[in-house]
Amino acid sequence: MDSEVMCVITRFEVRSITALVRLYRSFRRIKAHSKNIEGLIATRFLIEGPRTCITLSLWKNGGAILQFNTRVVAHVQAANACFRDLDRGNGRAHLWSAQFKLFAVSPHNLNWDGVEVTSPQPTLAPEHPHL
Protein backbone atom coordinates (compact mmCIF):
# COMPACT_ATOMS: atom_id res chain seq x y z
CA MET A 1 0.00 0.00 0.00
CA ASP A 2 1.25 3.50 -0.83
CA SER A 3 2.04 5.58 2.22
CA GLU A 4 2.88 9.14 3.27
CA VAL A 5 3.98 7.93 6.74
CA MET A 6 7.30 9.39 7.92
CA CYS A 7 9.73 8.02 10.50
CA VAL A 8 12.23 10.18 12.41
CA ILE A 9 15.08 8.55 14.33
CA THR A 10 17.51 10.46 16.54
CA ARG A 11 20.43 8.83 18.36
CA PHE A 12 22.13 10.48 21.36
CA GLU A 13 25.32 9.39 23.09
CA VAL A 14 25.69 11.27 26.37
CA ARG A 15 28.41 11.66 28.99
CA SER A 16 26.66 9.93 31.89
CA ILE A 17 23.66 7.93 33.03
CA THR A 18 22.41 11.10 34.76
CA ALA A 19 22.37 12.84 31.37
CA LEU A 20 20.42 9.90 29.93
CA VAL A 21 17.80 10.38 32.66
CA ARG A 22 17.61 14.10 31.80
CA LEU A 23 17.01 13.21 28.14
CA TYR A 24 14.23 10.80 29.12
CA ARG A 25 12.54 13.49 31.21
CA SER A 26 12.77 15.89 28.27
CA PHE A 27 11.27 13.22 26.01
CA ARG A 28 8.31 12.76 28.40
CA ARG A 29 7.75 16.54 28.53
CA ILE A 30 7.86 16.80 24.72
CA LYS A 31 5.49 13.85 24.38
CA ALA A 32 3.01 15.50 26.75
CA HIS A 33 3.18 18.76 24.77
CA SER A 34 2.67 16.85 21.50
CA LYS A 35 -0.74 15.41 22.33
CA ASN A 36 -2.49 18.01 20.16
CA ILE A 37 -0.34 17.31 17.08
CA GLU A 38 -2.86 15.44 14.94
CA GLY A 39 -0.33 13.76 12.66
CA LEU A 40 1.78 12.08 15.35
CA ILE A 41 1.13 8.35 15.16
CA ALA A 42 3.55 7.13 17.84
CA THR A 43 6.79 8.06 19.58
CA ARG A 44 9.18 5.96 21.64
CA PHE A 45 12.32 6.39 23.75
CA LEU A 46 14.68 3.44 23.33
CA ILE A 47 17.75 2.62 25.42
CA GLU A 48 20.66 1.31 23.36
CA GLY A 49 23.27 1.27 26.13
CA PRO A 50 24.17 2.86 29.48
CA ARG A 51 24.89 6.22 27.80
CA THR A 52 23.07 5.89 24.49
CA CYS A 53 19.41 6.33 23.57
CA ILE A 54 17.29 6.62 20.46
CA THR A 55 14.05 8.48 19.94
CA LEU A 56 11.74 7.20 17.23
CA SER A 57 8.58 8.83 15.97
CA LEU A 58 6.05 7.93 13.27
CA TRP A 59 4.12 10.71 11.53
CA LYS A 60 1.13 10.85 9.19
CA ASN A 61 3.19 12.94 6.73
CA GLY A 62 5.86 15.63 6.49
CA GLY A 63 3.32 18.36 7.27
CA ALA A 64 2.74 16.83 10.70
CA ILE A 65 6.46 17.03 11.44
CA LEU A 66 6.49 20.69 10.39
CA GLN A 67 3.51 21.38 12.66
CA PHE A 68 5.34 19.68 15.57
CA ASN A 69 8.54 21.66 14.93
CA THR A 70 6.69 24.99 14.91
CA ARG A 71 4.19 24.38 17.76
CA VAL A 72 6.02 22.32 20.41
CA VAL A 73 8.36 24.78 22.12
CA ALA A 74 9.46 22.08 24.60
CA HIS A 75 11.18 20.31 21.68
CA VAL A 76 13.26 23.38 20.81
CA GLN A 77 14.17 23.91 24.48
CA ALA A 78 15.18 20.26 24.94
CA ALA A 79 17.20 20.23 21.70
CA ASN A 80 19.18 23.28 22.82
CA ALA A 81 19.69 21.92 26.34
CA CYS A 82 20.81 18.43 25.30
CA PHE A 83 24.08 19.67 23.77
CA ARG A 84 25.65 20.18 27.20
CA ASP A 85 25.19 16.45 27.92
CA LEU A 86 26.41 14.97 24.65
CA ASP A 87 29.62 12.98 24.52
CA ARG A 88 32.15 14.88 22.44
CA GLY A 89 34.68 12.20 21.55
CA ASN A 90 36.89 13.21 18.60
CA GLY A 91 35.80 16.82 19.25
CA ARG A 92 32.31 16.31 17.79
CA ALA A 93 28.96 15.85 19.50
CA HIS A 94 27.71 12.27 19.29
CA LEU A 95 24.28 12.97 17.86
CA TRP A 96 22.60 12.11 14.58
CA SER A 97 19.11 12.23 13.22
CA ALA A 98 17.47 10.85 10.08
CA GLN A 99 14.05 11.12 8.52
CA PHE A 100 12.60 8.39 6.32
CA LYS A 101 9.46 8.20 4.23
CA LEU A 102 7.75 4.83 4.32
CA PHE A 103 6.83 4.59 0.65
CA ALA A 104 4.82 1.43 1.12
CA VAL A 105 3.47 -0.54 4.05
CA SER A 106 1.94 -3.97 4.18
CA PRO A 107 -1.73 -3.88 5.24
CA HIS A 108 -1.16 -7.24 6.96
CA ASN A 109 1.63 -5.93 9.20
CA LEU A 110 0.28 -2.44 9.86
CA ASN A 111 -1.17 -2.75 13.35
CA TRP A 112 -0.52 0.80 14.57
CA ASP A 113 -3.15 2.40 16.76
CA GLY A 114 -4.77 5.29 14.93
CA VAL A 115 -4.01 4.08 11.41
CA GLU A 116 -6.83 3.04 9.10
CA VAL A 117 -5.82 0.40 6.54
CA THR A 118 -9.22 -0.27 4.97
CA SER A 119 -8.70 2.42 2.31
CA PRO A 120 -6.17 2.17 -0.54
CA GLN A 121 -3.88 4.58 1.35
CA PRO A 122 -3.31 4.31 5.12
CA THR A 123 -4.71 7.32 6.98
CA LEU A 124 -4.97 8.30 10.61
CA ALA A 125 -8.09 7.64 12.61
CA PRO A 126 -9.62 10.81 14.15
CA GLU A 127 -8.22 10.36 17.68
CA HIS A 128 -5.05 8.86 19.15
CA PRO A 129 -5.66 8.06 22.84
CA HIS A 130 -2.58 5.80 23.18
CA LEU A 131 0.18 8.28 22.36
CA distance 3 to 95: 28
Give the pLDDT of residue 124.
47
Give the pLDDT score at 130: 44
Q: Are strands 95-101 and 40-49 parallel, antiparallel or unpaired?
A: unpaired
Q: How far apart are CA 112 and CA 60, in angstroms?
A: 12
What is the total residue count of the chain? 131
Per-residue pLDDT of the chain (131 residues; tens, 9 = 90+): 677 889 999 999 999 999 999 999 999 999 999 999 999 999 999 999 999 999 999 998 999 999 999 999 999 999 899 999 999 988 899 999 999 988 776 666 556 665 554 444 544 444 444 44
CATH of 5-102, one of 3.40.50.970, 3.30.70.100, 1.20.1090.10, 1.20.1340.10: 3.30.70.100
Phi, psi of 116 (to 5 degrees): -90, 125
User: Domain spans of the chain?
Assistant: 5-102
How much is the pLDDT for 114?
56
Question: How many CB atoms are closer than 10 A to CB 28?
Answer: 12
pLDDT at 1: 63
